[in-house]
Amino acid sequence: MPAAKAPSVVDVVIVGAGFAGMYMLHRLRGLGMSAHVFEAGSGVGGTWYWNRYPGARCDVESMQYSYSFSPELDQEWRWSELFASQPEILRYANHVADRFDLRRDIQFDTRVTEARFDRATQRWDVRTDHGDRVSARYCVMATGCLSTARMPDFPGMERFTGKTYHTGHWPHEGVDFTGQRVGLIGTGSSAIQAVPVIAEQAVQLTVFQRTPNFSIPSRNGLMSEAYAESWKADYPALREKARHMRTGILNNPNNVSALEVSDEERQRIYEERWAAGGTNFMAAFNDLIINQQANDTAADFVRERIRETVRNQAVAALLAPKNHPIGTKRICVDTEYYGTYNRDNVTLVDVRTTPITRISANGVRAGDVEYEFDSIVFATGFDAMTGALLKIDIEADGQTLRDKWEAGPRTYLGLMTAGFPNMFMITGPGSPSVLSNMMVSIEQHVDWIADGMAYLRSHGLDCIEATQAAEEAWVAHGNEVANGTLYPLANSWYMGVNIPGKPQVFMPYIGGVGSYRQICDEIATDGYRGFALSAQTAAIAAE
Ligand code: N01
């Protein structure tokens, strides 16, 4: 793979070559700006580069989980399944990198370690673990929301003599569990996809569950030519419509309360959505995430499906979530997850009643039982939304980002944080990001940032900074919207609860992708309201 070398001076440094970083580079080239991308992995694709666990696939339909910026790309690319698998999405990312000749400005296997803003020059000084040092006018953090894998700190981890894996750092050569006794810790989206596939290979699979999750069958299948064509025939209009949806997904929302219809009608609608599959289930009614009673009807429906599917009713009871409203922890999408517990070689261990006390040389100790394994899979999630950003030493005017966000992330629109001029975040905390179709949110942020840079240039300006007041108002608005929903009731990674010591604040913006886009557009049209814009010459004069 051709390795780009870092220039010493560049208009923009982009951190990360996932879908966000790749599109950012493409847009900046279109503006005639110089840009250099640093990427820790050896290839493009971000999340889809790292998360290679068995069963990994996207749970947004591929016709919608893809770039929309190029009508030619839209027409050329052909997905083989309704919900593409990780290898296919990674092939797509590589195709985009080749098609738009992106690699020549991407430096792989290089991690950004420091970024310091110099107020006098209004430039970022960016350094890497390979000794690169680049001076950049702008720094764009395309570091991903779920890119810092979280390993639990059970005592004895180092003593295990078998193999350990984290779903978010899966070996590129793959893992064959044939003939193995496998322990898997966690029951989030990654586990729910991996469990059915590992169960088919392993002699014995033991799943350690702390919190059961709601999962909807994907009903994935091969994508017919006719289905692909039905999208392609009207792609620009469908893409545009998706940009204004609440989640950035055309999910056929039913704008009716779950409490306004008869029991029979409600049941019929849930059954229809369940049979169709996927996250559209949560769009069955308009109040599922704001009204507990409405939410209970959906949760009860799914719990009933679990009882119907899982033969052993004691196991079914353990798998049925009780402590959070449906959808307030990320809804999962599966292929045969619950049915997998009917297999003789699969065991579920409830670690709430029998906590994992240590990892031993041979396996996992939970309660009084020592489980012996050849391999342990950690499907234990990520330090979400802030993890990757806070791993970098980011500093401006003597203040570090870690200090600034000590009590939780604070941003204006999830795009910038006050006190850190010319540093943008793509899908940062305070934006819809993880509550949306990431492709739609990524493109919206990249376009907004690129348009902003073009605006600055055309107005003889080169510095943009979120004001403290605008940030405070945005954080307050974000909290108010979140508190009007059921989301804060769940102990979720949205709230930072999965990381010991992490401040517990609701991190994404839940006002909806469509209305968020409108707010961002209005702010830009209004001369970037809430941002202080200036020119380097002005800064020097002020000094
Ligand atoms: O991680 P998670 P994930 N002892 O944090 C458990 C996206 N994604 O990798 O809930 C015992 O959801 C933890 O238990 P609890 C998607 O946005 C998308 O699965 O904290 N258990 C939980 O069950 C998703 O939400 C796709 O009680 C421990 C699990 O580990 C996000 O990524 C596919 C533990 C972690 O679940 C993260 O999903 C995959 C401990 N010490 C992921 N520590 C698609 O698009 C943690 N757990 C399809």
Q: Which DSSP letter does residue 529 get?
A: T
**Which atom of ligand 1 approaches the CA of 189 most closely?**
19
Q: How far apart are CA 392 and CA 243, in angstroms?
A: 31
For 48, the 3-state DSSP assignment is helix
Burial of 491 (0-12, 13-18, 19+ CB in 10 A): middle
Q: What is the pLDDT of residues 409-421, one digit of tens each?
A: 999 999 999 999 9
Residue 265 pLDDT: 98
Strand partners, 356: 366
Q: Is 187 in the pocket of ligand 1 (CB under 6 A)?
A: yes
Residue 536 pLDDT: 78
8 A C-beta contact, residue 57 and residue 47: no
Q: How far apart are the first and last CA of the chain?
A: 46
For the chain, helix, strand, coil in percent to 5 are: 35, 20, 45
8 A C-beta contact, residue 524 and residue 518: no
What is the whole-number distance in angstroms between the Cα of residue 221 and the centre of ligand 1? 25
Task: Compute the average pLDDT of residues 187-201.
Answer: 98
Q: Is 330 in the pocket of ligand 1 (CB under 6 A)?
A: yes
Residue 2 pLDDT: 44
Residue 162 pLDDT: 98
Task: Compute the average pLDDT of residues 71-88.
Answer: 98
Q: What is the pLDDT of residues 459-492, one digit of tens each?
A: 999 999 999 999 999 999 999 999 999 999 999 9
Q: How far apart are CA 434 and CA 438, in angstroms?
A: 7
DSSP for 446-490, please give it. HHHHHHHHHHHHHTT--EEEE-HHHHHHHHHHHHHHHHTSSGGGS
Q: How far apart are CA 388 and CA 149, in angstroms?
A: 9
Q: Is 58 in the pocket of ligand 1 (CB under 6 A)?
A: yes
8 A C-beta contact, residue 150 and residue 188: no
If pLDDT is split at 50, 70 and 90, which confidence band does 537 have?
A: low
If pLDDT is split at 50, 70 and 90, which confidence band does 5 have?
A: confident
Q: Is 427 in the pocket of ligand 1 (CB under 6 A)?
A: no
Q: What is the pLDDT of residues 127-159, one digit of tens each?
A: 999 999 999 999 999 999 999 999 999 999 999
What is the whole-number distance in angstroms between the Cα of residue 191 and the centre of ligand 1? 7
Residue carrying the six token digits 């403290």: 468
Atom 7 (ligand 1) nearest CA: 189
Atom 34 (ligand 1) nearest CA: 380
Task: Report the percent of the chain where pLDDT is more than 90.
Answer: 98
**Which atom of ligand 1 approaches the CA of 330 most closely?**
25
Q: How far apart are CA 126 and CA 139, in angstroms?
A: 8
Task: Report the percent of the chain where pLDDT is more than 70.
Answer: 98
- Pairing mode of beta strands 204-209, 346-350: parallel
Q: Is the pLDDT of residue 533 over 50?
A: yes
Which one of 153, 166, 210 would you pick to mutate in the ligand 1 pocket, going by the greatest count of ligand atoms within 8 A of its CB?
A: 210
Q: Is the pLDDT of residue 184 over 90?
A: yes
Atom 3 (ligand 1) nearest CA: 381
Strands (E), 361-472: 363-366, 369-372, 375-378, 393-396, 399-400, 423-425, 463-466
What is the whole-number distance in angstroms between the Cα of residue 182 and the centre of ligand 1? 18
Q: Is 10 in the pocket of ligand 1 (CB under 6 A)?
A: no
Closest by Cα among 4, 79, 84, 96 to 45: 96
What is the whole-number distance in angstroms between the Cα of residue 201 and the centre of ligand 1? 22
**Which atom of ligand 1 approaches the CA of 146 most closely?**
32
Q: How far apart are CA 165 and CA 190, in angstroms?
A: 13
Closest by Cα among 337, 516, 379, 336 to 437: 516
8 A C-beta contact, residue 205 and residue 199: yes
8 A C-beta contact, residue 407 and residue 122: no
Q: Is the pLDDT of residue 540 over 60?
A: no
Q: Which two tokens stand for residue 499?
A: 């990381």
Q: Is 49 in the pocket of ligand 1 (CB under 6 A)?
A: no
Q: What is the pLDDT of residues 233-288, one digit of tens each?
A: 999 999 999 999 999 999 999 999 999 999 999 999 999 999 999 999 999 999 99
Strands (E), 262-419: 332-334, 346-350, 356-359, 363-366, 369-372, 375-378, 393-396, 399-400
Q: How far apart are CA 496 and CA 208, in angstroms?
A: 21
Q: How far apart are CA 271 and CA 308, in angstroms?
A: 13
User: CA angle at residue 93 from 87 to 96, to 5 degrees?
Assistant: 140
Q: Is 465 in the pocket of ligand 1 (CB under 6 A)?
A: no
Q: How far apart are CA 131 and CA 144, in angstroms?
A: 23
Closest by Cα among 211, 160, 205 to 184: 205
Which one of 65, 154, 330, 364 would you pick to mutate in the ligand 1 pocket, going by the greatest count of ligand atoms within 8 A of its CB?
A: 330
What is the whole-number distance in angstroms between the Cα of residue 213 and the centre of ligand 1? 9
Residue carrying the six token digits 């990431």: 438
On average, the pLDDT of the chain sits at 96
What is the whole-number distance in angstroms between the Cα of residue 330 and the centre of ligand 1? 9
347 membership: H or E segment, kind and range: strand 346-350
Q: What is the pLDDT of residues 434-455, one digit of tens each?
A: 999 999 999 999 999 999 999 9
Residue 538 pLDDT: 56
What is the whole-number distance in angstroms between the Cα of residue 49 and the centre of ligand 1? 18
Amino acid type, 327: G
Q: Is the pLDDT of residue 543 over 70?
A: no
Q: How far is CA 92 from CA 125, 213, 221, 303, in A?
A: 33, 30, 18, 36
Q: Is 380 in the pocket of ligand 1 (CB under 6 A)?
A: yes
Length of the chain: 543
Q: Which two tokens stand for residue 302?
A: 């799914």
**Which atom of ligand 1 approaches the CA of 152 most closely?**
41
Amino acid type, 540: I
